């Protein structure tokens, strides 16, 4: 498998890193929107709560696919560099 993916090792690593950045940005955005919505509930501002919950759902739609993509791209990147998937359990030197 490593020989097949070797030409794509560098681009896979870059795309994996960028997808990780997208995941973290989505998590932070969702966290901020939900925190603001919680503050708006204390102030009993229902219109703001509704708008902030809609904003948090946008970030949620970013988080779910990007988390799956980070895992898949991480596995492909590891294979392309010839790292064993289970590290030392497969006889590899590194984990």
**pLDDT tens, residue by residue, 38-67:** 999 888 888 989 999 999 999 999 999 999
pTM to 2 decimal places: 0.80
d(CA 41, CA 20): 32
Reading the block at residue 21, the tokens are: 């950045």
**pLDDT tens, residue by residue, 8-33:** 888 999 999 999 999 999 999 999 99
């Amino acid at each position: 498998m490593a020989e097949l993916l070797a030409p794509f090792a560098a681009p896979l690593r870059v795309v994996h890193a960028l997808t990780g950045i997208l995941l973290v940005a989505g998590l932070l955005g969702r966290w901020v929107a939900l925190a603001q919505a919680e503050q708006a509930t204390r102030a009993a501002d229902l219109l703001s709560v509704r708008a902030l919950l809609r904003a948090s759902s946008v970030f949620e739609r970013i988080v779910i696919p990007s988390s799956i993509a980070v895992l898949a791209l991480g596995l492909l990147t590891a294979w392309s560099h010839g790292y064993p998937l289970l590290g030392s359990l497969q006889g590899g030197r590194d984990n």
